[in-house]
Amino acid sequence: MPRIVVDVMLKPEILDPQGKAIVGALPRLGFTEFSGVRQGKRFELTVDGEITEAVLAKAREAAETLLSNPVIEDVVKVEAVDD
Amino acid sequence: MPRIVVDVMLKPEILDPQGKAIVGALPRLGFTEFSGVRQGKRFELTVDGEITEAVLAKAREAAETLLSNPVIEDVVKVEAVDD
């Protein structure tokens, strides 16, 4: 089934406590390569039929109204993916 | 700063109540194009210096040990991204 991936991340200026907790734990587990971690959400929307520009536009609209909180989050990607 | 994106999704056979709730709400909001929604996690790891194969391998290892629960989740992508 054709799918659309939607990625949502916290706005850069918003504190990310989960990301802070992870980046604090990484060195204790032997991972010293990473100076920052931010956590967001990834959605896979299954589409009946073909992914047209109109369907992509509806996915972006759903992303901005239902899948993210525009006050603190940015929709960073809305993309059709092949299986 | 160079970044590595890690995407984690629930294994297909695992029930996704959040995804179910979203796909149930979409038609009420006028979105009828989508037959399924699954929600996962997206991480952005900031790297000091260059992203080498070794750093990517460490990111994958961190993804599989700290950023996901291998019992119920799959790491579906570990990828360097340009700013």
- With H, G, I as helix, E, B as strand and everything else as coil, classify residue A68: coil
CB B3 within 8 A of CB B81: yes
Render each residue's pLDDT in chain A as its tens digit; 83 residues: 899 999 999 999 999 999 999 999 999 999 999 999 999 999 999 998 899 999 999 999 999 999 999 999 999 999 999 76
Q: Is residue B49 exposed (0-12), middle (13-18) or buried (19+ Cβ within 10 Å)?
A: exposed
Please indicate whether, in this complex, the C-beta atoms of A44 and B38 are within 8 angstroms of each other: yes
The predicted model gives B54-60 an average pLDDT of 97
Q: What is the pLDDT of residues B38-54, one digit of tens each?
A: 999 999 999 988 999 99
In total, how many domains does chain A have? 1
The predicted model gives B72-81 an average pLDDT of 96
Taking CB atoms and an 8 Å cut-off, how many pairs form between chains A and B? 106
Give residue B33's domain range: 3-81
ipTM higher than threshold 0.90: yes
For position A75, what pLDDT does the model report? 98
Other CB atoms closer than 10 Å to residue B8's CB: what's the count? 21
User: Which tokens sit at A59?
Assistant: 């996915």
Nearest-Cα residue of chain B relative to residue A50: B33
Q: Is B1 on the interface with A (CB under 8 A)?
A: yes
Is pLDDT above 80 for B83? no
* A1 min Cα distance to partner chain B (Å): 10
Element (H, E) at B17: helix B17-25
Q: Which residue in B74, B64, B62, B58 sits closest to B16, CA to CA?
A: B74
Element (H, E) at B77: strand B73-81
Please indicate whether, in this complex, the C-beta atoms of B65 and A36 are within 8 angstroms of each other: no
Provide the CATH number for the domain around residue B35: 3.30.1280.10
Distance CA B75, CA A12 (A): 24
User: Which tokens sit at B6?
Assistant: 């890690």
Nearest-Cα residue of chain B relative to residue A6: B39
Is pLDDT above 90 for B59? yes
Q: What is the pLDDT of residues A2-20, one digit of tens each?
A: 999 999 999 999 999 999 9
DSSP, residue by residue, B23-70: HHHTGGGT--SEEEEEEEEEEEEEESS---HHHHHHHHHHIIIIIS-T
